[in-house]
Chains A and B, each alone.
Chain A
Amino acid sequence: MTDNANIDTYRRRFLGNTATAIAGLSVAPGVFLHEVAQARPADEAVTSDVRWGMLIDTNKCANGCTDCVTSCNDEHGLTGHGRPETDAQWIRKVDLRDKQTGHTQSLPLLCQHCEHPPCVDVCPTGASFKRADGIVLVDKHICIGCRYCMMACPYKARSFIHEALQDQLPHAPRGKGTVESCTFCVHRVDEGRTPACVEACTAENHNAMVFGDINDPDSKIAMQLKQHSSRQIRADLNLNTGVRYRGI
């Protein structure tokens, strides 16, 4: 049994590598099929070969546009009670204004999916965790609602659910007494799709958000990160965030 399992694992890995190698071949000069290789079979676990990341170009992010916020709320069924201090929000728009020059900028702020997430460090139950592919999540089955993670997060990215909810969506289970935050639309990513906010931003032709595998040198995000300078918010904390910004 164990031998068989080992052989199967080996075979799967070999086949996977071969498939990746084939998918990486160019069909025409400069055209690569690397996107195809990202679709992972449903029965295969995530690995650290992939690290999901997002690059946000604040120069393209329109002032006053909240398409990413709206699409996130729609995707996960986030609704408010008209109490902005405590209503759940996974992504929010932040407007920056330089008082001296009056220059204003706008950017979306969401869970930064840190490599060394402080929320995971402080979680007493192990509910706050980082998946092998770098996505930081809350296992609400284990979360006791202590909210240490909310205190620890430098980005104010997490929300606590104060009231009983109804009519949640199957792909976004949410409930009273637990903490939640941006999941990088993990249910979409596992299907090989992009997060809802990125899709909405692209659909509106703003193209301010790019999502992809930072570890894959041929991915759009890795190429852009290599070509242009980008910043992490609070880089001084050495968290190595998965979300990077251009233009700030």
Chain B
Amino acid sequence: MQNLMQTSLRILLALSVVAGLPAAAWAGDDSLLPVVPQAQDRYSKTQGCVEPTTEMRKNHMEYILHQRDETMHRGIRTRQYSLEQCINCHVSDAPDAPRVSSDEHFCNSCHSYAAVSIDCFQCHADRPVKTPNPHALSGHAKSANQAAVLPAEPHQALATEVISND
């Protein structure tokens, strides 16, 4: 419990440092401060992200955590605060775009600077993946897009199990 408290405190401290940076420094090429990649799109004409940028810098994890539980347990699938939407907007879907292990990835650009490690992407996709069309999923017509995502390893080994009844 104490460990957890310490960790949270450390995270908060690190984030408050980052959030307090002057906005202009974020894009400075020569500075030691992180270079955060531009988002692919804007939320609206007046607003860049789903909440004001300063709020998102400080509290993005609260929004994602809340949405996580709502989606997982109650089946609420609004898109505004979903991690998938964060990634869709903030990360490029180009094949050679930086992955989360790189400092040039949107999330990691700042997280590595702040020395806050996250485990979201041990499970979640760290880049946008276009949902293949439903017919591509039946295994009859694989789209090129899907082939790029799924390794071509066969997975039929245990597809059949035989039980004999005496």
Contacts and interface: CB of A to CB of B under 8 A. Distances in A.
B45 interface: no
Contacts of B138: 67, 70-71, 74, 196, 199-200, 203-204
Question: Of A109, A140, A168, A187, which is in contact with the most chain B CB atoms at under 10 Å from its CB?
Answer: A168
A69 B159 contact: yes
Nearest to B130: A170
Contacts of B87: 170
Interface residues of A, number: 65
Given A87-B157, A89-B158, A165-B122, 16 more contacts: A70-B138, A70-B139, A71-B137, A73-B155, A74-B146, A79-B150, A80-B153, A80-B154, A83-B157, A92-B159, A92-B160, A97-B162, A97-B165, A170-B87, A176-B122, A200-B138
Interface string A148-189: 000000000000000011011111011110100000001100
Interface string A203-232: 110000000000000000000000000000
A82 B123 contact: no
A94 interface: yes
A20 to B, nearest CB: 18
Given A99-B165, A168-B123, A174-B123, A82 B153 contact: yes
Contacts of B128: 170
A28 interface: no
A200 B164 CA distance: 27
Interface residues of B, number: 45
15 contacts: A40-B75, A45-B70, A70-B156, A74-B138, A77-B149, A77-B150, A79-B153, A80-B154, A92-B159, A94-B163, A131-B75, A168-B124, A190-B75, A191-B77, A204-B138
A73 B137 CA distance: 9
A213 B160 CA distance: 29
Contacts of A67: 138-139
Contacts of A176: 122
A169 B135 CA distance: 17
B140 to A, nearest CB: 7
Contact of B165 (A96, A169, A178): A96
Interface of A: 40, 42-46, 64, 66-67, 69-71, 73-75, 77-84, 87, 89, 92-100, 109, 129, 131-133, 137, 139-141, 164-165, 167-171, 173-176, 178, 186-187, 190-191, 193, 196, 199-200, 203-204
Given A71-B138, A199-B134, A203-B138, A92 B158 contact: yes
B5 interface: no
Interface of B: 68, 70, 72-79, 84, 87, 122-125, 128-129, 131, 134-140, 142, 146, 149-151, 153-166
Contacts of A46: 74-75
A77 B136 CA distance: 13
B100 to A, nearest CB: 10
A115 to B, nearest CB: 18
A74 B137 contact: yes
Contacts of A44: 76
Nearest to A127: B72
Contact of A87 (B78, B122, B155): B155
Given A42-B77, A69-B156, A71-B138, A173 B125 contact: yes
